[in-house]
Amino acid sequence: MFVNLVFLWLSILNGHATGSLNIKLNRPLHQGKILVYIYNDALGFPTQPEDAYRTIVIKCSHTKQLKIDRLPFGMYAIILIHDQNANGKLDRNWLGLPAEPYALTGHPKFRFGPPLFDDVQFEFKQNGQILFLDLK
């Protein structure tokens, strides 16, 4: 606990306060991998995962909750993909629509084409903040 307080104090002094973000999913994920892309601006969102601020890959094991540590407070958009076949990408059907479950922050309304960063961004402002994501 003392080490965490020291880390938080040093990060505040450096102007980069960080915390842990908890993501809760609407259902457990059993096979494959979970791909989490965290964007802090619109560059590359949502089609270029290499432009994400942070990328996290987790092996599924009845996973229903994720914890992202040491995330600086600020505005973000998150894309979570249940990569069922563990091929490292979001598979699409012949129409170009997602063929694997995915979730976005901000719960954007369905429309043709990918959502805009501004439509799905949220403010991460508190250590331990909980974010609920519904896989589609």
Given a cut of 50, the residues of the chain with pLDDT beneath it are: 2-3, 5-8, 10-13
pLDDT of residue 114: 85
- pLDDT of 112: 75
- DSSP letters of the chain? -HHHHHHHHHHHHTT--EEEEEEEEEEEE-SSEEEEEEESSSTTTTT-GGG-SEEEEEE-SSEEEEEEEEEESEEEEEEEEEETT-SSS--B-TTS-B-S-EEETT-PPP-SSPPPHHHH-EEE-STTEEEEE---
The pLDDT value recorded for residue 2 is 46
pLDDT of residue 90: 95
CATH of domain 19-133: 2.60.40
Global confidence as pTM: 0.86
